[in-house]
Chains A and B, each alone.
Chain A
Amino acid sequence: MKNLIVILLAVMSVSALANGVMVHDAYIRLLPPTAKTTGAFLELMNHSDKDVKLLKAESDFSEKVELHTHIEKDGMMKMVEVKEIVIPAGKTVAMKPGSFHIMLIGLKNPLKENQETTIKLTFDDKTTQSVKLSVKKIMNDMKKGSKDHQH
């Protein structure tokens, strides 16, 4: 039985990396306890030589989970759902505040700092990855972080 688990885990971790996408710095934004929605953010690093698309995110943390981004229109920020997020070969896509994010809609419980959950990501090559992430209060300096990624 123990061996089987080891084998299963080994198979799982291999399949998780089958498309060469690695997930870094995943967290959920802490908001006041009455918040019914929040965002989850992470970095997707594509180590393969093929573009990979993120198609879906699932979690039992909230009623609904959607992939979103922000677009600027008529001087306003507009939040829209996206069908897919392309992670170009060899590139990293940062899902970060003000940009791509995973919208957790209809939170089942009030948010608590350091609370943990799992989000399952599904890619266009049918591979999936379960990402562990915890609820964090965002107090870092946004501009600094985003500037480093601008070229």
Chain B
Amino acid sequence: MKTKTIILILSFCLAVLSITLLQLKKSKTTLSDIPVGGDFKISTTNGEFDLAAKRGKIIILYFGYTFCPDICPTTLSTVGMALKKFSPEELNNIETLFIGVDTKRDTLEKLKEYSAFFHPSIIGGSTTPEKTREIANLFGVNYIINDPEVGKSYYVVDHSTQLFILNKHGKIAELIPHGENAEIIYETVLKYMKEKI
């Protein structure tokens, strides 16, 4: 009887573990990848962005590059659609920052035009390659700036594609994977906006 109970408990634990692992795999994160986030400062098209000074606001954060012909525009246009659902008052409590990781090509001037194309409230941020890597590491974001392939005049950047929703404390509240719709982004932001500090 005792052995039976132990086996039962063990199988239950195993089941819980497998489900947890499956869930982790599904969200494409492994334990070591779970980012913690953290405060950072970066130059933007609107002056300096200092996360520590943004308490009380919801931050939508995305890392990409302006040469990006597909993934970034898809995400940013979905973010743009989500932002359109908010009232001007609500928009005052949201800041959307697009960090250009391809620092050579992602000049502030370029970022300004690129970001605003998707929504006027999206701001572009850029800093040195070293600082960019530091900020990306805080959020578990990875990217590789490839050399141009033989015979090609351009180079592409491989990059993580998740969108970060930071709560009023500047902490990562949710990761939204690439390809989610505007409604999900809108509802997630709204949820954290309603939170009391």
B69 and A98 contacting across the interface, CB-CB below 8 Å: no
Select A75's contact among B69, B70, B142, B149, beta carbons within 8 Å. Answer: B142
- Name which residue of chain A comes closest to B184, CB basis: A143
A-facing mask of B149-177, CB < 8 A → 1, else 0? Answer: 10001101011110000000000000000
Separation of A74 and B158 alpha carbons in the complex (Å): 10
CB under 8 Å from chain B, chain A span 42-83: 63-64, 70, 73-79, 81
Known: A31-B117, A32-B117, A76-B160. A143 touches B181 (CB 8 A): yes
B179 and A142 contacting across the interface, CB-CB below 8 Å: yes
B110 and A34 contacting across the interface, CB-CB below 8 Å: yes
Separation of A101 and B180 alpha carbons in the complex (Å): 19
Separation of A81 and B156 alpha carbons in the complex (Å): 11
Question: Is A23 interfacial (CB 8 A cutoff)?
Answer: no
CB under 8 Å from chain A, chain B span 104-157: 110, 113-114, 117, 142-144, 149, 153-154, 156
Q: How far in angstroms is the closest Cβ of chain A from B99?
A: 15
Which chain A residues lie closer than 8 Å to B33 at the CB level? 75
Known: A31-B73, A31-B117, A75-B28. A143 touches B158 (CB 8 A): no
Number of interface residues of B (CB under 8 A): 35
CB under 8 Å from chain A, chain B span 55-113: 66-67, 69-71, 73-74, 77-78, 80-81, 110, 113
Question: Is A25 interfacial (CB 8 A cutoff)?
Answer: no
Separation of A105 and B181 alpha carbons in the complex (Å): 28
Known: A38-B69, A97-B70, A98-B70. A146 touches B179 (CB 8 A): yes
Dominant SS among interface residues on chain B: mixed
- Name which residue of chain A comes closest to B74, CB basis: A97
CB under 8 Å from chain B, chain A span 72-116: 73-79, 81, 97-98, 101, 103, 105-106
Question: Is A117 interfacial (CB 8 A cutoff)?
Answer: no
CB under 8 Å from chain B, chain A span 17-39: 29, 31-39
Select B69's contact among A73, A78, A103, A142, beta carbons within 8 Å. Answer: A103
Which chain A residues lie closer than 8 Å to B77 at the CB level? 137-139
Question: Is A144 interfacial (CB 8 A cutoff)?
Answer: yes
Q: What 7 pairs across the A-B complex have the smallest Cβ distances?
A: A143-B181, A78-B158, A76-B158, A32-B117, A97-B74, A37-B69, A141-B181
15 A-B residue pairs with CB within 8 Å: A29-B70, A31-B73, A31-B114, A76-B161, A77-B158, A77-B160, A77-B161, A78-B158, A101-B70, A103-B69, A138-B74, A139-B81, A141-B78, A141-B182, A143-B179
Q: Which B residues have a C-beta under 8 Å from some C-beta of A? A: 28, 33, 66-67, 69-71, 73-74, 77-78, 80-81, 110, 113-114, 117, 142-144, 149, 153-154, 156, 158-161, 178-184
